[in-house]
Amino acid sequence: MALLQISEPGMSAAPHQHKLAVGIDLGTTNSLVATVRSGLSSVLADEQGHALLPSVVHYAADNTIEVGFAAQKKLNLDPHNTIVSVKRFMGRGLQDIDISQLPYHFTETSGMLQIDTRAGVKSPVEVSAEILKALKTRAEEALGGELVGAVITVPAYFDDAQRQATKDAARLAGLNVLRLLNEPTAAAVAYGLDNASEGTYVIYDLGGGTFDISILKLTRGVFEVLATNGDSALGGDDFDQRIFCWILETAKLSPRNAYDMRLLLSKAREAKEWLTEHAEANVSCMLSDGEYVNVTLTTQEFINLTATLVQKTLAPTRKAMRDAGLEISDIQGVVMVGGATRMPQIRKMVAEYFKQAPLTNLDPDKVVALGAAIQANVLAGNKSDADLLLLDVIPLSLGLETMGGLAEKVIHRNSTLPIARAQEFTTYKDGQTAMSIHVVQGERELVSDCRSLARFELRGIPPMVAGAARIRVTFTVDADGLLSVSARETSSNVEANITVKPSYGLSEDEITNMLKASFTSAEIDKKARMLAEARVEASAIIEAVKAALSADSALISVEEVQTIEAEIAKLEVIALTEDAEAIHQAVEALNHATEAFAAARMDASVKLALSGKELNTLDL
């Protein structure tokens, strides 16, 4: 249903002046898209009124791709081809993921992990792109126009590879990324503007697959991130896994096939959500071999099962507080973000640690998308009452490898973005004319314990004695947290540079090929939609005409009835073909054949309405 927008005289912008931009929360469990309309940020719902889009993608046997609720229904039926929690795989290799409990078939690769589906081998970037396409379509249909761009949120503790993978997915979905925004910062924007808050706040963000803790200082529209920490492999999914293991142990079940595993994991998630407001949850289901599972989990048992996970969020919290140089008494409030923060044991722990009740007056599922929409509106150039300045920080240190396999940090974590920082290095051997530069990210001292981001060479260094050359290496990180590195020998001005493309990101050729594939299939998709619409129209008119004949066939001759029935039969046959135009023509032919019948029914209805009434009693 379309809503009429009413503004005060002189207060509404001309349609061409307002640029359509959205904020997207690409979540592990659910994703959302929001926008700003008439100065208010709101989440856009689908046709059924659902604000949340399950982050689930199903590759069907007929080569169609289902996203969201339709895909979610296939979780237990087709687990090998139904991808969930893909956000955990972004920018990650097989060695980074515990695949023992996952129902997917993975392909061996040296880069980002790949999932083998019936639709072919898919990267997490491609799967995420399908989710983003669905959100883009929802937004354009709701707003009635083409988007100029989107702000997409990422966990604060996403490293360069994960951020680049997210940006690649957006490009593949046809989205112009205005900015990648840290999820806690987006939440602070939404919360701060909604409550006109100032002071130092903690954003405790526990989503489906990631945990972030950020400390922000809010002062007159300036959102300054003082410190951030977290765990990109800790979230609500881990709580589900604990319940899943408890079910196996309590019901004395041996390791199951993929179908049973997915079914039990779904039941585990349902139990977790039920225990948010109830004292116990019953888990009952029939397994593929006919075995019946029926166990009951109490709130206290759930608390005991997940105590270590709850405590696991405290270590990053303490580190962030220490990095910010703050005491508990310095914190004005703790904002809860992410659906997993609804668990009572999480809220209890946060209240005890910070010695105050957490702030839960905004929907933890929507707050990130709302904040992203506000930032998108500003970046798109629309007029805004909010004068925002976001001072975000880099989550992990950046540096390069020096002799001995050591990691020399150039930009330290929690440095404010955007940032550029340079450091001088020198040669190791006499007459050295080239230098290999290895860019790494992480907090450890050894390169082997950090993540490798890129390698490039600086050649043409004048031959000098060891230690005489001066190589100035400059690291530049943009507002999205993405990195470029340059190296210059100061005496000769020989220079080399690289825009860091993590080893787990997609190459430009891969992105181009995927985009070409999407353009190629666009015409096919358009024809498929036209065919489906034509078949729906044919089915509707056939049903309507049959119902009319059943009720009023006596109004026309037998020959006319036979003519209409013949046209219905033709349409039923043609509707089974792949020719949308032929279906439309058959529909028109049936419409033409029923014109006299429709007129006769109209006359009969009028006669019935006037029957027994005198002319002077009618309201003419």
- Residue 160 CA to residue 450 CA, distance in Å, equals 12
CB-count exposure of residue 339 (10 Å: 0-12, 13-18, 19+): buried
Catalytic residue of the set 74, 87, 133, 217 = 87
- Using DSSP's 3-state secondary structure scheme, residue 133 falls into helix
**Residue 37 host element (H or E):** strand 30-37
Question: Which residues, listed in sequence order, are joined to residue 106 by a DSSP beta bridge?
Answer: 115
Reply yes or no on whether 183 is catalytic. Answer: yes
What is the Cα 102 distance to its own chain's centre?
20
Catalytic residue of the set 25, 224, 260, 480 = 25
Catalytic residue of the set 183, 237, 240, 480 = 183
- Residue 343 CA to residue 238 CA, distance in Å, equals 13
Cis ω on the peptide bond leading into residue 364 (within 30° of 0)? no
φ, ψ dihedrals at 412, nearest 5°: -85, 150
Contacts 24+ apart (CB under 8 A), 112-121: 112/161, 112/165, 112/504, 112/505, 112/506, 113/89, 115/83, 115/89, 117/59, 117/80, 117/81, 117/83, 118/59, 118/61, 118/80, 118/81, 119/59, 119/63, 119/65, 119/81
Cα 279 to Cα 157, 251, 265, 274, 345: the distances in Å are 34, 20, 20, 9, 13
Catalytic residue of the set 205, 212, 365, 392 = 205
426 half-sphere exposure, CB direction, 13 A CA radius: 11
φ, ψ dihedrals at 130, nearest 5°: -65, -40
Cβ–Cβ < 8 Å for 29, 236: yes
Beta strands in 44-81 (DSSP E): 53-54, 56-59, 65-67
* Radius of gyration of the CA atoms of the chain, in A: 30
- Residue 414 CA to residue 226 CA, distance in Å, equals 7
- Residue 426 CA to residue 403 CA, distance in Å, equals 11
Burial track 25-47 (b if 16+ CB lie within 10 A, e otherwise): bbbbbbbbbbbbbeeebbbbebe
Cβ–Cβ < 8 Å for 376, 35: yes
At 51, the amino acid letter reads A
Reply yes or no on whether 25 is catalytic. Answer: yes
Residue 382: Cβ within 10 Å count: 17
Reply yes or no on whether 87 is catalytic. Answer: yes
Cβ–Cβ < 8 Å for 317, 353: yes
Residue 532: Cβ within 10 Å count: 11
- Residue 525 CA to residue 49 CA, distance in Å, equals 25
Question: CA torsion, points 546, 549, 552, 558, in degrees to nearest 10?
Answer: 180
At 289, the amino acid letter reads D
Residues annotated as part of the active site: 25, 87, 183, 205
